[in-house]
């Protein structure tokens, strides 16, 4: 039997404890068998070397005299024996046990010169707390001058490129120079639409002034309008701060942009139906559409909300709190499930509103959508028939959960009420001017950083979609 091609992984480490343990374990768990791990070690003051030597998965240890990242990568390239070579820094892990298998399947099929995929960027101390989603796109050479580049830590090269070295004169941007160099030299370039790596935030690239200066210097070599290239490169990062599409929820994802929406404010007629998802059509919802949620179209209902309803639909705005007030006790359901943040005031409000119903509270943790669903999944599975489910979470998290529920329950009555419940339970009165036009701005007083981040992201995504005429049916 012919042996499968070999993949070499280069790991650079200095004072790597305890995070190096995660990296080593991540490599060990890879299902692809024909692999080697090359560790380039720089003198450390902790137990790094002891851990490396005691590991039974490190194939080669290269001792580095210089404390230079790109010198270390070059040493790794020189010592790599694989048909395919990639990098896994000592702060990072592979996204799943199948990451290398996915890459090598692509190589076996296409014999690529270069391949790259998607990555997630997490907070320093918690891989579960994802803050950026760097989702790449298929390669077109002209994209390079518009600031596009794939994530360096998802990059894999064939052995034909191992003699191309990183420029050690750069402290941060040698990877950018390297990518521009090899992408201009090679022909068989493949985009793998899968998450390859989870990278911790921080590191040397967090020195923004130095990075900007070096990026300009690199871009100047390749592009006439290099200032514009770097500006667009910076702007592109904005769109990485969005809801993450993980493997577990991809089965619920599909874009329904070409379908016409059903708008209503008659909540109580909808409640009598066996299944429905009711949500607000507003700026945040347009950003949510960007995340390609799949719920059977005929069961989706929207009420017009926010200034978006006025601009796109020419309809009168109906705030979520009005929809909430219109919800009545109905014989079609016996139970009410409230899925919200850890807020007892919301629960008390629902108990008073539905005094004769069985009330169940499912509290969702703070964090990315994968953490929320994983935490509450068991309780969602136990939701009884003849139930009204009230989701009081930010868009798009509540809609993704609604999609999840719609795929595991035959009958579902779901109302995505967002922050309206919290505002009603606090008995807050919104000034008329803001209520009519700019309620989202008024709400910035409550969790200002999170809400501002979401508002700006919604504007960028919705604006981009509108420009592209993807909402022509509205």
The CATH number of residue 186's host domain is: 3.90.550.10
Q: Is residue 388 part of a domain?
A: yes
Least Cα distance to 277 among 188, 406, 178 occurs for 406
Same domain, 45 and 89: yes
Last residue of one domain, picked from the residues 171, 203, 238: 238
* Residue 384, domain member (yes or no): yes
For residue 469, pLDDT over 50 is answered with: no
Most confident of 95-104, 123-132, 288-297, 400-409: 95-104
CB 324 within 8 A of CB 377: no
Domain of residue 185 covers 7-238
Q: Does the residue 2 lie in any domain?
A: no
Same-domain check for residues 158 and 279: no
Burial class (CB in 10 A: 0-12, 13-18, 19+), 76: buried
Residue 83 lies in a domain: yes
> Does residue 347 register a pLDDT over 70?
yes
**Per-residue pLDDT at 304 exceeds 80:** no
Q: Does residue 343 sit within a domain? A: yes
Shared-domain flag, residues 230 and 254: no
Are residue 384 and residue 278 in the same domain, yes or no? yes
Q: Are residues 296 and 379 in the same domain?
A: yes
Residues 58 and 180 in one domain: yes
| 311 & 202 share domain | no
How much of the chain, in percent, has pLDDT values that exceed 90?
Answer: 36
Q: Does residue 472 lie within any of the structural domains? A: no
Instruction: Give the model's confidence band at 305: pLDDT under 50 very low, under 70 low, under 90 confident, else very high.
Output: confident
> Do residues 297 and 210 share a domain?
no
Query: Domain boundary residue among 204, 238, 272?
Result: 238
pLDDT band at 112 (very low <50, low <70, confident <90, very high): very high
Asked if 196 and 287 sit in the same domain, the reply is no
pTM over 0.85: no
Say yes or no: 144 and 208 in one domain: yes
**273 part of a folded domain:** yes
Instruction: Dump pLDDT digits (tens) for 232-287.
Output: 888 877 666 644 443 333 332 332 233 456 777 677 788 888 888 888 876 556 55
What gap in Å lies between CA 151 and CA 118, rounded to an integer? Answer: 7
Q: Which of 238, 263, 295 is the last residue of a domain?
A: 238
What's the mean pLDDT in 87-96?
A: 92
Tell me: do 277 and 234 sit in the same domain: no
Task: State whether 261 and 315 are in the same domain.
Answer: yes
- Look at phi and psi of residue 389 and say left if phi exceeds 0, alpha if psi is from -120 to 50, else beta: beta
Number of domains in the chain: 2
Question: Do the domain assignments include residue 1?
Answer: no
């Amino acid at each position: 039997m012919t042996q499968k091609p070999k993949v070499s992984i280069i790991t650079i480490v200095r004072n790597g404890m305890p995070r190096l343990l995660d990296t080593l374990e991540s490599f060990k768990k890879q299902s692809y068998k024909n692999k080697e791990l090359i560790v380039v070690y720089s003198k450390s003051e902790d137990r790094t070397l002891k851990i490396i030597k005691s590991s039974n998965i490190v194939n080669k240890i290269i001792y580095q005299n210089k404390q230079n990242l790109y010198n270390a990568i070059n040493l790794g390239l020189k010592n790599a024996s694989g048909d395919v070579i990639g990098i896994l820094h000592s702060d990072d892990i592979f996204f799943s046990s199948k990451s290398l298998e996915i890459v090598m399947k692509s190589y076996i099929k296409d014999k690529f010169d270069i391949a790259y995929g998607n990555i997630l960027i997490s907070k320093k101390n918690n891989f579960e707390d994802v803050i950026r989603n760097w989702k790449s796109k298929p390669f077109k050479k002209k994209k390079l001058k518009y600031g596009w580049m794939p994530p360096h830590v998802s990059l894999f090269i064939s052995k034909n490129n191992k003699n191309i070295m990183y420029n050690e004169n750069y402290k941060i941007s040698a990877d950018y120079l390297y990518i521009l160099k090899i992408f201009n030299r090679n022909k068989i370039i493949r985009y793998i639409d899968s998450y390859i790596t989870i990278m911790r935030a921080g590191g040397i690239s967090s020195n923004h002034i130095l990075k900007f200066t070096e990026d300009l210097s690199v871009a100047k070599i390749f592009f006439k309008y290099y200032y514009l290239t770097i500006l667009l490169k910076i702007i592109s990062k904005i769109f990485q701060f969005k809801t993450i599409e993980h493997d577990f929820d991809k089965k619920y994802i599909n874009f329904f942009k070409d379908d016409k929406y059903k708008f209503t404010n008659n909540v109580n007629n909808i409640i009598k139906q066996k299944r429905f998802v009711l949500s607000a059509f507003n700026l945040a919802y347009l950003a949510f559409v960007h995340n390609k949620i799949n719920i059977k179209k005929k069961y989706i209902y929207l009420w017009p909300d926010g200034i978006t309803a006025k601009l796109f639909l020419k309809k009168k705005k109906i705030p979520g709190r009005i929809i909430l007030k219109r919800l009545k006790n109905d014989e079609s359901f016996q139970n009410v499930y409230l899925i919200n943040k850890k807020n007892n005031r919301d629960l008390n409000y629902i108990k008073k509103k539905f005094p004769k119903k069985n009330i169940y509270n499912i509290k969702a943790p703070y964090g990315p959508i994968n953490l929320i669903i994983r935490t509450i999944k068991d309780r969602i599975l136990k939701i009884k028939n003849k139930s009204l489910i009230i989701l009081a979470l930010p868009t798009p998290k509540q809609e993704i959960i609604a999609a999840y529920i719609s795929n595991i329950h035959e009958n579902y009555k779901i109302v995505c009420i967002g922050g309206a419940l919290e505002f009603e339970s606090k008995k807050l009165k919104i000034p008329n001017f803001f209520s009519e036009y700019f309620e989202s701005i008024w709400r910035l007083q409550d969790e200002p950083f999170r809400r501002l981040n979401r508002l700006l992201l919604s504007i960028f995504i919705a604006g981009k979609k509108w420009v592209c005429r993807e909402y022509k049916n509205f």
